[in-house]
Amino acid sequence: MQEVQETMTDSGTVSTPGTAGARAENPAALANEKPVKIKSRDVNVFYGEAHALKHVDLDIRQHEVTSLIGPSGCGKSTYLRCINRMNDVIDGCRVEGSIEMDGEDVYDPKLDVVQLRARVGMVFQKPNPFPKSIYDNIAYGPRIHGIGSTKSEMDEIVQGSLQRAGLWEEVKDRMDTPGTGLSGGQQQRLCIARAIAVNPEVILMDEPCSALDPIATAKIEELIDELRQNFTIVIVTHSMQQAARVSQRTAFFHLGILVETDETEQIFTNPKDQRTQDYITGRFG
């Protein structure tokens, strides 16, 4: 556990590009291109007989926001859930191909999924705070990973996570009230704070704003932009404006196929594929 924590601190604080592993994997990286954090090759996902995700090759770069867009049922959430192996809990779901994080195979049978999920946090579509106090919601992750053994350390982690999620000022006087009593936007920021409390390297967000009003959405987007300094973020979104606003890189999925991936600006101004062009101009989806 100590070891994990150290690597987390490393990647969490280093803001200049590149850990050694990632650089070795990606020798062709240009000077302005950040190193690859997660490398997927020929990823296929099956739900029973249905082939949900087909031959996906995708690189996700460190300290960038990568957005996954595409019409409903195109496989973007499925891909997201492959990264922290949340598909494991779904009956009849089978993942093929390789997903590597810092050169380590995520689907290596020797890899402990608990430690993987400590390194890859996740925020869901609908805010899902536990029916516990705000404090316990944040402290839940650190407790199960044995981080923050003393009360004061835990207080620090909780306060720090809430501050980074921009929620501290709003809730500092009612840490003992249930997390389910907050407003929708606050609940979602609580869930983000809960995810960053275990100091992950990657944060996956599955349509984090789809249940929120525009003002709460703006706050979350602002927060995502700040979090980019310390975390690698992958966000699934239905809103192309949101993808354009928050992400540096965009991947367009259609019918389980990764159609196109490029810098966000490129995708929205000069898409190479006709399907991408049709989707972003609103011809389908």
Partner 1 sequence: MGISVILLVMLGLTVAGYLLGTRQALVVTGHNPHQLHSLPSYHGLYLASWVLLPALIVMAIWLIAEPHVAELRLVANLPDGFSQRSFDEQRLLIGDIQARALGGIVSGALDPAFQAAGEAYAGTLAASRWVMIAVMLALMVGGGLIALRQVRPDMRARNRVEKTASVIMIVASTIAIMTTVGIIFSLLFETGRFFSKVPITEFLFGTQWSPQIALRADQVGSSGAFGAIPLFAGTLLITLIAMCVAVPIGLFSAIYMSEYAGKRVRASAKPVLEILAGVPTVVYGFFAALTVAPFFRNTGESIGLTVSSESALAAGIVMGIMIIPFVSSLSDDVMNAVPQSLRDGAYALGATKAETVRQVILPAALPGIVGSVLLAVSRAVGETMIVVMAAGLAANLTANPLEAVTTVTVQIVTLLVGDQEFDSAKTLAAFALGLTLFFVTLCLNVIALNVVRKYREKYD
5's enclosing H/E stretch is: helix 2-13
Q: Is 117 in the site for partner 1 (CB under 8 A)?
A: yes
**Angstrom distance (rounded) from CA 51 to CA 35:** 31
Both tokens assigned to 90: 């779904």
Task: Pick from 56, 182, 198, 251 the residue near partner 1 by CB under 8 A.
Answer: 198
Q: Is 212 in the site for partner 1 (CB under 8 A)?
A: no
Q: Is 116 in the site for partner 1 (CB under 8 A)?
A: yes
Q: Is 280 in the site for partner 1 (CB under 8 A)?
A: no
**Angstrom distance (rounded) from CA 232 to CA 227:** 8
Least distance in Å: CB of 204 to partner 1? 8
- Select 145 or 254, whichever has its Cβ closest to partner 1: 145
Least distance in Å: CB of 224 to partner 1? 17
**Angstrom distance (rounded) from CA 18 to CA 41:** 21
Spell out where the chain has E strands.
36-47, 50-61, 65-69, 93-101, 104-105, 120-123, 202-206, 232-236, 249-254, 257-263
Count CB neighbours of 135 within 10 A. Answer: 19
Q: Is 130 in the site for partner 1 (CB under 8 A)?
A: yes
For partner 1, the binding residues in 53-92 under the rule CB under 8 A are: 84, 86, 89, 91
For partner 1, the binding residues in 138-177 under the rule CB under 8 A are: 140-141, 144-145
Chain residues that interact with partner 1, rule: CB under 8 A: 84, 86, 89, 91, 113-118, 121-122, 124, 126, 128-132, 140-141, 144-145, 191, 194-195, 198
